[in-house]
Chains A and B, each alone.
Chain A
């Protein structure tokens, strides 16, 4: 079978995750990597045994004729880089945030749709096992109808990258700054349950002096059927990402980073007791699995990313739809835009 030829543009910090995962994917060949710095390109080619390396993006597209391009450069460059890849006939896997604005996202999406190519934004946490199982259970209807959803993400960014006083992080050039750089993760959980909403109220604050921009966001989202809250903070430790979905016949509680899912269903006292026992066993199992992952996989944080890439490349090989439907990417980008829209704050 002819391998799928992949090119990578933008060799920043996240490139390691992509290159390590691509290396593990059967039937995928990294045909070229590209960045502005020749020294960086050479170093990455040597470190990850990939290549050839390029500093000219158009030349890479022309010479390597990739089937897929991973666009990992800062979001402000995505319209040009994604557009170039699509025009060269390649599917695109883009890092989040896919664009600094909804309009730019829609421009890229329309081009991909017109050309019949895949455009997928990296919502890797949707593909963590705990999240996937929880959402599958919700969609099966066993828990009844969704009532409300609370999604909360706290990441301890510290000053190392986002607060570096000497080098401004690219995230600060987007509306919403560092918060926007993470917003698509919790937003993609919200839009898995709520694709449309009639009300959106947002509160943002800066709680850590000296950091550029706000470091906390809280939003209430809803329609006449379901309500959701979304919160992000960039100054809490340890990092946590949780969601709680209350339905008419049960509740799902998911610890995304901890890879643990609890199903709390109604019923008789006996069935509640057996549910508690199952949860206890589940917690022990999750703790043991965490220890195992810590000892065997330094990339376990990105477990969902490996699954997403598996599904994405299966779609490329089979000509199937993207593992993240365009409707959900549309909704997520609409929500992210709304979170940081001028005048939305309360």
Chain B
């Protein structure tokens, strides 16, 4: 099978390329021209398609015709709404335009996000699964959630009317690995080696990157995946405290500063009321807005059974092994806590 991975030089993209090649696919990694130029070519590397989807790329349609499957991973978070819009929505629109112009037929695996769910509307303890309604008020969420919602809507609207396209949507939770340890669901990063932990006992819907890549590859090959939507989240999600405890064992330098969730909520609600009282003349930063942050801080359950039941697929890395690989003992390359390491807000 000939596969194209957009965002092929990114965190998830690199793992997906490896997974697809292990399955015997002929893989092409699409990446920005500057990333392609920086790349040191080695034997066995996938083919590269240098293309920046944020602007309508010339001649892309002709290049797409050869692929049996396209995995759409391009995304950006945390750089302002315009950057999020360009990377998540405009880039997707340009790719879809090129597919339509090419009359492309094949399997399109779209990587969405947990951010699209309306988690604010869920009661504590509710199980979040693929049937959970999408966010009803995207304008109140952060730039990432807003643009990922627009992106998924665009993909469904456009590909739904194209003959011969088999769409699969995968919504991963917080993707993690050794090179991406910090998660917004933990709280806030404080400098290079400290985390302000908001709460502590909230289960985090983590998804080890090799498990995400494995599910995406399965969705690209398994006929039962066509037309379906799957959440990608590991079984037995660890709490924030358990995750940070594993991190501290590997990196004793890490400082964890607990901050009670009730106190955080008190401050956030106070600022929210101040905003309402001022008639909207004040607006706290996103991390102090309850509607933005609550989806990450709500105590929910996560059902991971759908992909396993429908596809007969099992995550290849157990939660215990995933944590061990992320925080290996005597780790020689501890990565620091920084926003660059952080995953997108979910």
Contacts and interface: CB of A to CB of B under 8 A. Distances in A.
B79 A160 contact: yes
B285 A298 contact: yes
A49 interface: yes
B81 A39 contact: no
Give the contact-size bracket for chain B.
Answer: 20 to 34
Given A39-B154, A160-B79, A166 B52 contact: yes
Interface stretch (B85-93, B118-126, B222-230, B330-338): B85-93
Interface stretch (B61-69, B239-247, B273-281): B273-281
Contact of B283 (A20, A40, A49): A20
B286 interface: yes
Contacts of B284: 295-298
A166 B33 contact: yes
B288 interface: yes
Give the contact-size bracket for chain A.
Answer: 20 to 34
A12 B82 contact: yes
Contacts of B288: 295
A294 B284 CA distance: 7
B282 A13 contact: no
Given A160-B83, A166-B33, A166-B34, A43 B54 contact: no
A83 B280 CA distance: 33
Max chain B C-beta neighbours (<10 A), residue from A20, A46, A47:
A47
A16 interface: yes
Given A24-B279, A294-B285, A13 B82 contact: yes
B32 interface: yes
Interface string A307-322: 0000000000000000
A40 B33 contact: no
A43 B34 contact: no
- What is the predominant secondary structure among interface residues of chain B facing chain A? helix
Interface string A35-56: 0010110010011110000000
Interface string A289-333: 000001111110000000000000000000000000000000000
B271 A296 contact: yes
A39 B282 CA distance: 29
Max chain B C-beta neighbours (<10 A), residue from A48, A49, A161:
A161
A43 B280 contact: no
A23 interface: yes
A116 interface: no
A161 B147 CA distance: 19
B90 A165 contact: no
Contacts of B275: 296
A80 interface: no
A155 to B, nearest CB: 15
B80 interface: yes
Contact of B81 (A16, A24, A167, A296): A16
Contacts of A20: 283
Contact of A13 (B34, B80, B147, B150): B80
Contacts of B274: 296
Contact of A24 (B79, B90, B146, B280): B280
Contact of B52 (A39, A167, A296, A298): A167
Interface in A166-221: 166-167
B138 interface: yes
B55 interface: yes
Interface of B: 32-34, 52, 54-55, 79-83, 85, 89-90, 93, 138-139, 146-147, 150, 154, 271, 274-275, 279-286, 288
Given A39-B93, A298-B286, A299-B283, 20 more contacts: A13-B81, A39-B154, A43-B85, A43-B89, A43-B150, A46-B138, A49-B139, A160-B79, A165-B32, A165-B34, A166-B34, A166-B52, A166-B54, A167-B52, A295-B271, A295-B284, A295-B285, A296-B274, A296-B283, A298-B283
5 cross-chain pairs, A with B, having the tightest CB-CB distances, nearest first: A13-B82, A165-B34, A296-B282, A166-B52, A298-B285
24 contacts: A16-B81, A16-B82, A20-B283, A24-B281, A37-B90, A39-B89, A39-B154, A40-B85, A40-B90, A43-B147, A48-B139, A49-B139, A160-B79, A165-B34, A167-B55, A294-B285, A295-B271, A295-B284, A295-B285, A296-B274, A297-B282, A297-B284, A298-B283, A298-B284
